[in-house]
Amino acid sequence: MLVEYGALILWTLAAITIALLAPGSIYVVAISTFGAIIAASLLIAWAAEASESSISRGLALAIVAIVQTIPEYFVEGTIAWKAGKEPAVWLHNVIANFTGANRLLTGFGWPLILLTLIIQRRRNGQQGASTIALRREQSIEVVFMLGASLYYVVVLIQEELTIFDAIVWVGIFVAYMWMLVRLPRGKEGPEEPLLGPSRAILEIRSTRKKTGAILGLFLFAGLTFVLITDSFVTSIQNLAQTFLVGLLGSGAVFFTIQWIAPVLSEFPEKVTAFNWARQVTLAPLALLNFISSSVTELTALVALIPVVYFVSSAGAGSIPLGQLQWIEIFLTMSQSLYACASLLDLTYDIQNALVLLVLWVISTAVIEARLLVAILFLVFAVWETLRSRGHIVVFRAFRETLRKGVFAEPEFATRKPGLSGEPV
């Protein structure tokens, strides 16, 4: 496995060199930095997977989700910083990465997991319903995703992003992580088998060397993002202005940032989830990983935008939302709300996956239809809620998890490790 690590490290080093020494070579910089974003994201993902041990499944996945979205933090922070310095050029692009990342995750990633599961079951000759069932303690992720999504109603009403919004999002995220920290590890179902590069780290016998390898990969990938993210974002801008302005007009840069950056940065996460879904029994783990990422993106990631902009602009204030930005956030919120509605009974089925996938494809391909698609998502969310009436268990499961897990005395948590029982 040293070959994989060596190849990725060499690529990132070459990209850093090119970005620093030959920034004027537009196409070379674009190719090298795009590849370096994927390479550094893979290094982080492998190190994060290898670092999971002795903590609750939800917390482990939340940590992995945070680490896997580090590239998006750097991209979002860079754009927000540029917006503070050159508002006329960049201010209208500050929400592009976060809206694209979240919609790609729920609109494409969630359906991909279930479709992969269905295909793998048929290959194995297995029968059964085409659904994924979450455990009751995993209601924490669903409830926090729902709460974070609903807060965007406030953003849409005030038509701006403010420092106060950032404080609220950080508060939601801290509460979410605190609950996962408090949740006992317990009996959490099948463990995900680490394969390939991640397992290679885990097999290092010396604890000191293993820790050093994980920290070293984190630091190397983080330094890579520090050195190349500005060139990466500028490359996206240059390519959009060169090839897409004639097709998309003034929205070319926004559209390109919205999809190229998330596709590259989320690539390792998609690969991991795809591999888990192929193992059938780990499909709920794959879905939970994406839900954790959604919570992170809807709270901590977007909170970065007004904070960095405030610092970069020397206290210029809030970020106004134009009509385009308003619709993008409305669509992101609506899609997220439908995704949450599909999990009110803690089960995710093929009908949910098809609604998410079809509407995501339409909204991505037909920009003019995004407002209509957003409204359709809300209609489907209401319909899904009505369809699940009598089977909505997520809130009851959440209260039970708080009582028996999060707020339980340590002795109680030790005596009763399996608070969840069987999946719904």
Quickly list DSSP for 344-398: TTSEEEHHHHHHHHHHHHHHHH-GGGHHHHHHHHHHHHHHHHHHTTT---HHHHH
196 three-state secondary structure = helix
Residue of 122 and 16 predicted with greater confidence? 16
- Selected residue with higher pLDDT from 412 and 390: 390
User: Does residue 412 carry a pLDDT above 70?
Assistant: no
pLDDT, the chain, mean: 86
CA 135 to chain centre: 21
Gap between the Cα atoms of 17 and 260, Å rounded: 22
Q: What is the pLDDT of residues 23-67, one digit of tens each?
A: 888 889 999 999 998 898 888 878 877 766 544 555 666 666 676
Q: Is the pLDDT of residue 1 over 70?
A: no
pLDDT tens across 217-226, in order? 888 988 998 8
Check residue 84 and give its pLDDT.
94
The percentage of residues in the chain with a pLDDT greater than 90, rounded to a whole number, is 53
Round to whole Å and give the CA distance between 240 and 248. 9
Supply 148's token pair.
């974070």
User: Regarding beta strands 347-349 and 160-161, do their DSSP bridges make them parallel or antiparallel, or are they unpaired?
Assistant: unpaired
If one compares 356 and 63, the residue with the highest pLDDT of the two is 356
Q: Which pLDDT score is estimated for 124?
A: 79
pLDDT tens digits along 284-309: 888 988 999 899 999 999 999 999 99
Is the model's pLDDT at 210 over the cut of 60?
yes
Each residue of 172-182: pLDDT tens digit? 999 999 998 88
User: Does the pLDDT at position 417 exceed 60?
Assistant: no
Residue 46 has a pLDDT of 80
Residue environment code for 29-40, b if the CB has 16+ CB neighbours within 10 A, otherwise e: bbebbbbbbbbb
Distance CA 256, CA 276 (A): 29
pTM over 0.75: yes
**pLDDT value of residue 52:** 60
Query: Region 319-341: what's the mean pLDDT?
Result: 97
d(CA 220, CA 347): 39
Q: What are the structural domains, with CATH classification, of the chain?
A: 2-415 (1.20.1420.30)
Largest CA distance in the chain: 66
**Burial zone of 421 (CB within 10 Å; 0-12 exposed, 13-18 middle, 19+ buried):** exposed
